[in-house]
Amino acid sequence: MHLMKKFLLTPCLAAVALSLSFGALAQKRDDAIFAAAQAAQPAVIDTLHKLVLIESGSANIAGIARVADFAQARLDALGAKTERIKTSNSERVMVKGVLKGQGRLKAMLIAHMDTVYADGILATQPYKLDGNRLYGPGIADDKGGIAVILHSLAVLQSQGWNDFATLTVLFNPDEEIGSGGSGALIQSLAAEHDVVLSYEPTAAKSMAKVEGVLLAAAGTAMATMEVKGKASHAGAAPDEGRNALIELSHQMLATEGIAKGIAGAQLNWTYAQAGSVRNQIPESAVATADVRLLKPDAAEKLQAALVAKTQESRRVPDTHVHVKLEVGRPPYVAGERGMALAQRARAIYAELDGRPLFFHPVTGGGTDAGFASGSGKAAVLESLGLAGWGFHARDEYIEIDSIVPRLYLTARLLQDLGKQP
């Protein structure tokens, strides 16, 4: 909470403050890494193009497998020991690559291969270049993240860098549907590393003015409310029935603001189902809520509050109301060590002619950084992917002029971390 207040500047203000404070303090740019990052830009664009042309919606298992083929071949070419690991709940595969060096740092880099888009999306949203923007479904979220990881490692290799013990790369195939089959592995692998860097995109400069990193993301959960009533003839004997739909409506209204009293919780009823024919009083009804959690204890408190509230009153006597909360991805909170990584990232960005780096305090969208920080062992930083916009929407794009700074950032960050005693 302290961090959120401190950094809830508008990006514009942050930019001004930063250029004042870092202009003089910034370390000298590493020209060799910068030149290598610049030289890599056409190859990054080529990688993005190839990845976008493979449609890989979360339901498209074959498409995801093709992205996995591509990513695994690239990791093989970097000299990584690679393997494919089946997710625990589906035929989707993860790709894992491990590089061994001569130093002490143990770092893991993560990004996801799946997108939210349905098959055939390229027909209406093709890959295209327009000025500083490259458009394509999933280009920012999260194919840009895969590209930044692969090419940053290539940049470091071109410099002969081997100041690390283990570099693990993990690409998962189910982030957009909650990482149910990969989250546990992300969490257990994170516990074997000092640092986890996560490559979701960051907001485009056209929207946020300044590129950034992310300090916190909500955990996700799903609340379900089920009402059991009694069926009866809606025309001839309505009073004999117990209308589950009416009771469900009553309970949804009673609980619509319930999360407002619980720190770190958010709840919104999003879909519901009741009855099946016009002339019958419905005997059952069920509603589902999207739940976001920013504190570890928020789930338990919300569940208790939901149960208490729904037992408090009945609009329709003799109906039964049952609520449950299923917790998905845990919340990501950078904490002190993640914050230290963010500060280091900001100092590295400042090496690029005082380029500012914004700290986004929190997002309502979930991220796999939640599983990584759930390990409690690794320092975790999120949103090191490319700057872009239109995620999960139409006309998704990345900003081409974020490619070089982002390669430079990852390469310098790993180089710096490798020097740590």
Residues labelled as active-site residues: 114, 175
CB atoms within 10 A of CB 257: 9
DSSP assignment, residue 329? Answer: S
Q: How far is the CB of 182 from Zn ion (least distance, A)?
A: 13
Output the CA–CA distances (angstroms, integers) from residue 292 to 3, 173, 268, in the order listed. 19, 22, 9
Phi-psi region of 106 (alpha: psi -120 to 50; beta: other; left: phi over 0): beta
Shortest approach of Zn ion to residue 141 CB, angstroms?
A: 4
Least distance from Zn ion to the Cβ atom of residue 239, Å: 52
Nearer to Zn ion, 30 or 114 (CB): 114
| Minimal distance, residue 282 CB to Zn ion, in Å | 38
Q: Residues 30, 55, 114, 141: which binds Zn ion (CB under 5 A)? A: 141
Using CB under 5 A, which of the segments 39-47, 79-87, 134-142, 332-340 binds Zn ion? 134-142
For residue 276, the tally of other CB atoms under 10 A from its CB is: 8
**Cβ-based nearer residue to Zn ion, 36 or 140:** 140
Please tell me the total number of residues recorded for the chain in this structure.
Answer: 421
Residues 53-82 interacting with Zn ion (rule: CB under 5 A):
none
Rounded CA-CA distance 326/376 in Å is: 22
Close Cβ partners of 123 (under 8 Å, ≥ 6 residues apart): none
Decide: is 368 part of the binding site for Zn ion (CB under 5 A): no
Site for Zn ion in 185-214 (CB under 5 A): 200
Size of the site for Zn ion (CB under 5 A): 3
> What are the distances in angstroms from CA 299 to CA 12, 128, 305, 324, 352?
35, 43, 10, 11, 42
The two tokens of residue 205 are: 């400069």
| Span near Zn ion by CB under 5 A; candidates 82-90, 138-146, 218-226, 411-419 | 138-146
Residue of 30, 55, 142, 396 interacting with Zn ion (CB under 5 A): 142
From the CB of 165, what's the least distance to Zn ion, in Å? 28
34 vs 1: CA distance, rounded Å:
36
Give whichever of 30 and 396 is closer to Zn ion, judged by the CB atom: 396
Coil/strand/helix, residue 200: coil
Judged by the rule CB under 5 A, the positions of this chain that interact with Zn ion are: 141-142, 200
